[in-house]
Amino acid sequence: MPHVFQAYYPILDEATAALDRAGQLLSAHLTGSQTTAGPEQLSEIKGVNRFKFHEGKVEEFKRLSAQAMDIVSAKDTGTLQYEIYFSEDQSECIVYERYRDSTAVIEHGAHVAHLNEAIFATGSVSSELLGEPSAELTARIAGSGIPLFRPFLSM
C-alpha cells in the first residue's frame, strides 16, 4: 500500500480496516486493557449464542441452521468461524461465531436476517458479543439485550 493510504478510507476498504484496527488498539490502550493480542486480533469479533430448544423444535433448528450455514459459506466475506455444538441430549446448543471485524458481523447479520425470527422461535436464546466493536456495531446492538464483553487478557 502507498504511504498514508489510510487517507483514502472513503474509497479503500483496506484503509477503513486499518483505521478501525488502529482505533481499537488505541482505545484498548487508553482504557487500560491488558490485552497481549496484536491489532489484528483486537478487531476480531466473536459471538456466543446458547439455545434451549422448545419441545419438538430441534429438527426445525437443524434445518434452518443448515440454510444459514449455506448462506454464510456462499456470501459472508469476513466470517472466520461459524460452528454449532449440541448437548448430548440435543436439548441445547451453542453457536460460536468469529468475524474478521465489525463490518463482517454487520454483513453476516444482513445475510441471515430473514431466518432469524424462525430460528429464534425454536427456543430461548441468550447471546454475548466479545471484542472491540466499531461505533456502528455498538449502536446496532444497543438496546438488544446482547451484552458486550471487551478484551482484558488474551494470547
pLDDT in tens, 8-20: 767 777 777 776 7
Cα separation, 116 vs 93, in Å, equals 16
- The backbone torsions φ and ψ at residue 53, rounded to the nearest 5 degrees and listed phi first, read -75, 145
* Prediction pTM value: 0.72
Q: Which residue, chain included where needed, has cell 471484542?
A: 131
The reported pLDDT for the residue numbered 6 is 73
Percent of the chain with pLDDT over 90: 70
Question: Is the distance from CB of 149 to CB of 129 less than 8 angstroms?
Answer: yes
